[in-house]
Amino acid sequence: MYSKIAQTIDVLVAFRKGRVEPMTFKWDGHYYQVKKVNLVHSERRGREKVVIFSVSDEANAYRLAFSTDYLTWKLEEMASI
């Protein structure tokens, strides 16, 4: 269902309504507009805390991971219909 990607991406983020929302990200030379943030949760990987944003656009769902230790974004997985 999901395909693994695990690549670093560029992300534009909005801080609004007391939340953090990824708006747009650039992966592999393409820009993707986030239409909806469906779920936000966090995970511990050893000592590192990672916040996972499950987002979607018209066509696909994406799993974006923000490392709170390294302040980096990754596109971890992608799912399409």
Partner 1 sequence: MSLKLSTSLIAHVDMNSYFASVEQQANPTLRGRPLGVCAYLHKKGCVIAASIEAKRLGMKVGMSVEEAKLKVPSAVFVQNDPPKYRAVTSRVFSILHELTDCVEHYSIDEAFLDLTGWYRDPAEAAWALIRARWRIRDEVGDWLRCSIGIAPTRFLAKTASDLEKPNGLVVIDKDNLDEILSKLDLEDVCGIGPRIRRRLEKIGIRTLLELKKYPVGNLMRAFGKNGFYLWSKVNGFEVENVTPFDGAPAPKSVGHSYCVPDRVNKEGKVLATLIKLTERAGRRMRALDLLAGSIYVSVGLRQDYGFRSQFDSVHDAFWRPGAGEGGTLYTLFEEPASDSFSLVGAATELLRELWHGECVNFLAVTLTNLAPPSGQRRLSNVGARHASPLPWDRRTDRKRLASTAADQIRDRYGDEAIMFGQMLGLGDEAPDRIGFRKVEGVEIQ
Q: Is 6 in the site for partner 1 (CB under 8 A)?
A: no
d(CA 1, CA 10): 24
The stretch among 9-17, 25-33, 55-63, 68-76 that binds partner 1 (CB under 8 A) is 55-63
Q: Is 26 in the site for partner 1 (CB under 8 A)?
A: no
Q: Is 36 in the site for partner 1 (CB under 8 A)?
A: yes
Contact 46, 16 (CB under 8 A): no
Q: Which CB sits closer to partner 1, 9 or 77?
A: 77
* Cα–Cα nearest to 75, from 59, 57, 52: 52
